[in-house]
Amino acid sequence: MAQVVITLRIMPSGVDVDLGKIAEEATSKIKEFDGEVGKKEEQPVAFGLKALNLIFVMDESKGSTEDLENQISEIDGVQSVEVSDVRRAIG
């Protein structure tokens, strides 16, 4: 099976939320899901609010990331989680 590169966009519930802590917990949940985080980015949204983008690789055979998204949305300080990009890895 092929590998897929997925970008999860995590929106915090406010500007005072520690994105580093959310990134640590979300990375742990991604590892439990058999994914490997390659990159973490903070993306400005508006009025000081930043979204957290986690880019990770997982095996295509895992199928949907819905369970993973639900687990990450339960982290304290997370308002929403969405898959913003999915690409097939070549090579």
**Tally of domains in the chain:** 1
3-state secondary structure of 47: coil
Residue with tokens 């957290």: 52
What is the per-residue pLDDT for 91? Answer: 65
pTM for the model stands at 0.92
CATH number at residue 74: 3.30.70.60
Give the phi and the psi of residue 59 in degrees, each rounded to 5.
-75, 135
Do residues 4 and 68 lie in contact, with contact meaning Cβ atoms separated by under 8 Å? Answer: no
Range of the domain at 31: 3-88
Looking at the chain, the number of H-run helices and the number of E-run strands are 2, 4
pLDDT per position in the chain (91 positions), as tens? 789 999 999 999 999 999 999 999 999 999 999 999 999 999 999 999 999 999 999 999 988 999 999 999 999 999 999 999 999 987 6
